[in-house]
C-alpha cells in the first residue's frame, strides 16, 4: 500500500514533469505557480534546484525536489552581482543537470514516465540534455525586476 506522502507526489495520469527555474524569486515563483497548476491537472512534479536561493521543499509537499550542484563557493553565492552568478551557474550546472535527469529516467518505472522538461529560458543547456534523452523541453520565459537580456 502506498503511503500518503508518496500518493500526493504521484500524478494521476502517470506522467512526471521536471521543472528547473533559475534561482531568483522572479523565476522561482512563476515556476512554482505553474507546477501547482500542472499538479492540479494530474501531473507529478519534480523540481530541480540549485543550492543557491532554493525553495523550501516543506512548503510544497506534493512536489519532489532534486538538488543540482551549482559549484558556487560561499563567497560567490554571497555576491550581489547577479550577472556573475548567472554566468557561474550556466558554466557549473550543465553536467549536474544531465546527471540528475539521467538518474530520474533510470529510476522511473514504465508506468511513470518523464513527459517533458520545463526550464527557464536562461537554462539553454537543458535543450541539449532533453534532446539527448529524447524528452520534449518547454521554456518558461518570465520577466522580473532583473531583466538583463
pLDDT over 90 (residue 34): yes
Architecture of domain 15-140: 3-Layer(aba) Sandwich (3.40)
Domain assignments of the chain as residue spans, ordered by start: 15-140
User: What would the mean pLDDT of 31-56 be, rounded to a whole number?
Assistant: 92
Cβ(17)–Cβ(25) below 8 Å: no
Predicted confidence (pLDDT) per residue in 106-148, tens digit: 885 555 689 999 999 999 999 999 999 999 999 999 875 655 5
Label residue 54 by pLDDT band (50, 70, 90).
confident
Of the listed ranges 46-50, 51-55, 96-100, the least confidently predicted one is 51-55
Average pLDDT, stretch 6-21? Answer: 73
Between these two residues, 20 and 107, which has the higher pLDDT value? 20
Separation between Cα atoms, residue 143 and residue 121, nearest integer Å? 10
Whether the pLDDT of residue 102 is over 80: the answer is yes
C-beta of residue 125 within 8 angstroms of C-beta of residue 97? yes
Q: Give CA separation, 70 vs 36, 44, 125, 140, 148, in Å.
A: 25, 25, 14, 20, 21
The whole-number pLDDT of residue 13 equals 73
Amino acid at each position: 500500500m502506498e503511503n500518503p506522502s508518496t500518493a500526493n507526489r504521484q500524478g494521476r495520469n502517470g506522467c512526471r514533469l521536471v521543472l528547473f527555474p533559475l534561482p531568483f524569486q522572479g523565476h522561482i515563483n512563476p515556476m512554482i505557480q505553474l507546477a501547482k497548476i500542472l499538479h492540479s491537472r494530474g501531473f507529478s512534479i519534480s523540481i530541480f534546484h540549485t543550492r543557491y536561493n532554493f525553495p523550501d521543499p516543506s512548503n510544497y509537499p506534493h512536489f519532489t525536489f532534486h538538488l543540482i550542484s551549482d559549484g558556487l563557493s560561499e563567497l560567490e553565492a554571497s555576491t550581489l552581482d547577479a550577472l556573475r552568478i548567472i554566468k557561474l551557474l550556466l558554466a557549473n550546472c550543465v553536467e549536474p543537470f544531465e546527471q540528475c535527469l539521467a538518474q530520474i529516467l533510470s529510476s522511473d518505472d514504465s508506468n511513470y514516465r518523464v513527459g517533458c522538461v520545463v526550464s527557464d529560458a536562461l537554462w539553454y543547456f537543458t535543450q541539449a540534455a532533453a534532446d539527448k534523452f529524447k524528452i520534449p523541453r518547454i521554456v518558461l520565459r518570465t520577466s522580473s525586476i532583473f531583466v538583463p537580456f
